[in-house]
Amino acid sequence: MRYALTVQYIGKNYSGSQIQFENGEMIKKPTIQGELEKAISTLIFGDTENKNRQVKTVFSGRTDAGVNSKGQVAHFNVDETIVASKFLYHINEILPDDISVCDLRLVDESFHAQKSAKKRYYRFEFVNRKCKNAFDGDLIRVKYPTDEQRMQKALSYLLGEHDFSSFKSSGTFNPSTVCSIEKIQVKKLDDRVFIDIVGNRFLYNMVRTIVGTLLEIEGHDLPPEHMKDVLEAKDRRKAGQTVSPYGLTLMKVEY
């Protein structure tokens, strides 16, 4: 039987969501997937020592080190029937405090957490003020003023289907650079800025590089049309810096 679950996590203490390998050997760094598989295997089989009795998960996509999630989806296969209420209680007792499972459901065998996904919704949040605040946490702080309307105009050039090569980091293994952005919106609430972006797929560090380019436009008082020029250049050197992962959250995956 195949089950899908929704995972929430704070990514600060992990080397990304996915277990990583080098020369066929698993790299021993803490990951969300590693902690989740260990917890499920412990709950289902009682231990994680027997490799033939370890549950493997498939995530909807990779999130980088430091990136959070409120709606990551993963699926796994087991022979046993799972009672959702008991599973949720017990697995959250096993998982570290910065990871939780908030939903579990039985799905069809054809369901695939990654391949069946239609949309992914990310949010980036940053602080916009000169002085620090003890409650800013790990959010980046932009000291110069930003204009909501200018930022929205710049981001609007990214709507639709485009080649996002300019916003692709060198670590991208997938050769396809075409993505379709359905929604991208900026909103300022007091000294917090929220950037919401919904698309069918995202390249490695794409959202963080889009934000970096947006902040470059605002910081250097460039015209909003500069975002369009960067997009059309298909050249990573034309875009801004890749900003810190802190503040980036995978909000939801739609199927």
pLDDT tens-digit series, residues 134-181: 999 999 999 999 999 999 999 999 999 999 999 998 766 667 899 999
Cα of 119 vs its chain's centroid, Å: 12
Burial 205-224 (b: 16+ CB within 10 A, else e): bbbbbbbbbbbbbbeeebeb
Q: Average pLDDT, stretch 64-88?
A: 95
User: 119-254 sits in which CATH class?
Assistant: alpha beta
Give the count of beta carbons closer than 10 Å to the beta carbon of residue 2: 17
pLDDT above 70 as % of the chain? 94
**pLDDT score of 169:** 84
The reply to whether 191 belongs to the active site is: no
**pLDDT score of 231:** 98
Quickly state the pLDDT bin for 50 (edges 50, 70, 90).
low
Residues facing residue 24 across a β-bridge: none
Same fold across 2-107 and 119-254 = yes
pLDDT digits (tens, 9 = 90+) for 191-230: 999 999 999 999 999 999 999 999 999 999 999 999 999 9
Amino acid letter at 90?
H
Q: Average pLDDT, stretch 106-131?
A: 97
List CB contacts of 237: < 8 A, sequence separation 6 or more: none
Does 116 score more than 90 pLDDT? Answer: yes
> Domain locations in the chain?
2-107, 119-254
**pLDDT score of 8:** 98
Which residue of the set 64, 98, 163, 235 is catalytic?
64
Q: Average pLDDT, stretch 35-51?
A: 82
Amino acid letter at 167?
F
State the architecture of 2-107 in CATH terms. 2-Layer Sandwich (3.30)
